[in-house]
Amino acid sequence: MSELKLVKDGYPEPDEGDYASYVRSWVRSLRARNLSPKTVKTYREAAEGLAAYLARTDGPGNLGAIRREHIEGFIGWLLDTSSDSTANNRYRGLSSSSSGPSRKRRSPPTR
């Protein structure tokens, strides 16, 4: 078992490059910013959905290896299998994090 790294606030630091560890840290920061529980849930589901998609498609599990084409593949898959609003919510959730498609504003995905 790996050693738990602590920062001054007592929370573990995300493991370098580990996407799941990054998501846990990001969700914690969303809560600390006092975002609504529904917003935190929506954003968390977007990040976890991307992780599940990457695992199913043999995509990278390392944060630094996730590229635009991985995000686009995930959003395209959502558009094929879910409603437009689900794809839009996931896109917005991912866009709000540094792991998202871009910090620049783009039009939301549509069919």
Q: State pLDDT tens for residues 94-110.
A: 888 754 433 344 455 55
pTM for this one? 0.71
| 28 is a domain residue | no
Give backbone dihedrals phi and psi of 5, rounded to 5 degrees, phi first: -90, 135
| 61 is a domain residue | yes
Domain that holds residue 73: 35-111
Q: Are 93 and 35 in contact (CB under 8 A)?
A: no
| 10 is a domain residue | no
Cβ contacts of 39 within 8 Å, gap of 6 or more: 30
| 4 is a domain residue | no
Structure tokens at 108: 């939301």
| 86 is a domain residue | yes
**What is the total count of domains within the chain?**
1
In the chain, which residues have pLDDT < 70?
1-17, 98-111
The alpha carbons of the chain give a radius of gyration, in whole angstroms, of 14
Identify the pLDDT of residue 70: 94
CA distance 81 to 58: 19
